[in-house]
Amino acid sequence: MATLSIKGVRKSFGSVEVLHNIDLELEDGGFLVLLGPSGCGKSTLLSIIAGLEPSSGGDVVIGERTVNDIHPKDRNIAMVFQSYALYPTMSVRRNIGFGLEMRRVDTSSREDAIGRAADLLQISHLLDRKPGQLSGGQRQRVAMGRAIVRNPDLFLFDEPLSNLDAKLRVEMRTEIKRLHDRLGTSVVYVTHDQVEAMTLGTKVAVMKGGVIQQLADPQTIYEQPANMFVAGFIGSPTMNFLNGTLENQDGKLVLHHGEETLELSGVAKGASAYVGKKVVAGIRPETFSKGAGPSALTGIVDVVEPTGPDTMVVLDVGGQMISARLGSRERPHPGEPMTLSVDTTALNLFDPETGDRI
Amino acid sequence: MAVARSRSKLVLDIGSYVVLIFLAFICIAPIVWTFLTSIKLEEDIVTRNMIYIPTRITFEHYVNLWNQSGYPVLVVNSLITTSVTVLICMLTGTIAAYSFSRFHFRGRTQLMLAYLIVRMFPAVLMIVPLFIVMRQVGLLDSSIGLAIAYTSFLLPLFVWMLKGFFDAAPKELESAARIDGTTRLGAMFRIVIPIARNGLLATAVFVGIAAWNEYLFALMLTTSQGSRTWPVGLQLMVGEFQLPWGMLAAGGIISILPVIVLFAFVQRAMVAGITAGAVKG
């Protein structure tokens, strides 16, 4: 187990800078998720931590060691790849034990370690097969077996679940969480799936264009996103952005959106500086409830999508589409008017110019 | 309607088979004719009326060839030259192909193209400079010298073909191996080459067959029986006043035997290797 510090790491390919001054800290035994859309630099950052890609500047520190110039094999890390990267010519047993074989661990200790890892992942019956004879989920387990057998300081996962079908993905996600709880080894996990990030991470770094937009625990990222990108990237359906003007009405802050007026209570203190200016209100779909109130929006029902536990409603409010998650018993009909009240304590305001949270 | 369609399909099938059988006949007939000639009596070969099927089967041409013409030495020379060529290509070409496949160094594309350009010139152009170089370094008329000359035009082929197979091997496997504890070279030998072994075998057989059958360089760069290869030796049997058809045919058949045997052994791996490279590359 070890801590991980990334200090001012940069990476350029020619004149294109893909990582700009990345700073990160991961506590011992923590689970850091690097989350972002394709091309945001998260996999490049992981490769730099692994030593597979040299950085153009900055330091990577694992435990007490600065590992910038240390070969991947000497960093005492283990990595699980998106394509699993199992050696196709070797049996599962040899795949799992390859790292130990390279470190000249004697055969009996190696067999013991392989057996323990296989038992933990319930793949003991597959040890003599070749990777080509395994299903996707089994390959995933073998890849994890290869990672845990060496007892590394740090686990690196590069989108390990993206090649699995939906059901297996959920199972393996639970498996990874269980494994992390049991082994307690620090993990850096790359994904573009926000559900994986929210469920697994103790810390989430949301990245865009080679810059970390926000680094915080999952709940903070969800409830207090640093900017509109993070707010829009996290949550499904995505957060509603309502354009409006902030006013002070009888000592209370209100948001005017067309003919609608939302009374704001519990929003950030800095908001008063924006009185008279345009702002963007970020409203999560689940903060709506049916019925009128001091902060309510009225619109025409556009689409109704029952999902089982919830009913998703798309409402046309003055030309702007708003998604709301309502109870499963709510079944409005498209075309009819509807009023939804908003829990403004969970509402975020953003500066429309910079996109930053107020 | 359905009857008409099945009838037109039948005509098409028959037409296809006729064309394919004709093409196969064009390919196989010379080899069959050479084989039949090699087992005919001398008087059945040169006749007023063509005799297609031997009246009596004889192996005297094979015996004469083996005992009188020094043909075994030619075969051994060819074997040595071919083996050395394949060995040089395997040792240097594998590392070169891996570098071209994995490293993006300055001048990489230009170097790859330069490799190709060598193959675009007619072989005759290279013979004179090669002859002078070989004479200077004392490798003229030696199996090693001839093998080096072959390498000059077979190595580019080897590198280009093998690069395709290396490209098809996922790079993540080497990353995994490097994290597991190998060096880059170790990852190449332990992971990439075992994956690309069919391709390596296919490429080596291609180069081996090309070296085995080569004639022009062997004619120019060898002058004595000590290093001459079988294609040259066979051609030199044609004298001004005699044309030993039976022995020439027997020589031809013996010479293609190793190629056939080699191909029979590795054809499955070769086809697998070639298609893998073609589809994924």
What's the pLDDT tens digit per position in A284-333?
999 998 888 778 888 899 999 998 889 999 999 888 899 999 988 888 88
How many A-B residue pairs are in contact by the CB < 8 A criterion?
A: 56
Is the Cβ pair B178, A77 closer than 8 Å? no
> What pLDDT score was predicted for residue B136?
93
Q: Within chain A, how many helices (H) and strands (E) appear?
A: 8, 20
| Mean pLDDT computed over B247-258 | 90
Residue in chain A closest to B192 (alpha carbons) equals A87
Q: How far is CA A78 from CA A48, A99, A148, A193, B73, in A?
A: 13, 9, 7, 22, 57
The three state secondary structure string of chain B is CHHHHHHHHHHHHHHHHHHHHHHHHHHHHHHHHHHHHHCCCHHHHCCCCCCCCCCCCCCHHHHHHHHHCCHHHHHHHHHHHHHHHHHHHHHHHHHHHHHHHHCCCCCHHHHHHHHHHHHHCCHHHHHHHHHHHHHHHCCCCCHHHHHHHHHHHHHHHHHHHHHHHHHHCCHHHHHHHHHHCCCHHHHHHHHHHHHCHHHHHHHHHHHHHHHHHCCHHHHHHCCCCCCCCHHHHHHHCCCCCCCCHHHHHHHHHHHHHHHHHHHHHHHHHHHHHHHHHHHHC
| Mean pLDDT computed over B169-197 | 91
A interface residues, B as partner, C-beta within 8 Å = 47, 50-52, 71-73, 75, 77-79, 81-83, 85, 87-89, 98-99, 102-103, 146
CA A255 to chain centroid, in Å, comes to: 31
> CA of B261, closest CA in chain A: separation in Å?
27
The reply to whether the predicted model has a pTM over 0.90 is: no
Ordered domains of chain A (ranges, CATH) = 4-224 (3.40.50.300), 240-350 (2.40.50.140)
Q: Which of A179, A106, A105 is nearest to A148 (CA)?
A: A179
Q: Mean pLDDT lowest for which of B55-59, B183-187, B216-220, B271-275?
A: B271-275
Say if residue B275's pLDDT is above 60: no
Beta bridge partners of A157: A80, A189
Residue in chain A closest to B191 (alpha carbons) equals A87
Per-residue pLDDT of chain A (358 residues; tens, 9 = 90+): 689 999 999 999 888 999 999 999 999 999 999 999 998 999 999 999 999 999 999 999 999 899 999 999 999 999 999 889 999 989 999 999 999 999 999 999 999 999 999 998 889 999 999 998 998 889 989 999 999 998 899 999 999 998 888 888 898 899 899 989 988 999 999 999 989 999 999 999 999 999 999 999 999 999 999 999 999 999 888 999 988 888 888 778 888 887 778 888 766 667 778 888 888 989 999 999 888 877 888 889 999 999 888 999 999 988 889 999 998 888 888 999 999 988 888 888 899 888 888 8
If 0-12 CB within 10 Å is exposed, 13-18 middle and 19+ buried, where does residue A13 land? exposed
Does A237 sit behind a cis peptide bond, omega within 30 degrees of 0 on the bond before it?
Answer: yes
| Mean pLDDT computed over B169-184 | 91
Say if residue B281's pLDDT is above 50: no
> What pLDDT score was predicted for residue B279?
40
> What pLDDT score was predicted for residue B277?
44
Whether the Cβ atoms of residue B37 and residue B60 lie closer than 8 Å to each other = no
Is the Cβ pair A79, B173 closer than 8 Å? no
CB < 8 Å to A81, chain B: 172, 175-176
Above pLDDT 90, what percent of chain B? 52
CB < 8 Å to B175, chain A: 47, 50, 52, 72, 79, 81, 85
Write the ipTM.
Answer: 0.82
Say if residue B189's pLDDT is above 70: yes
Q: How confident is the model at residue B35 (pLDDT cuts 50, 70, 90)?
A: very high
> CA of B210, closest CA in chain A: separation in Å?
30
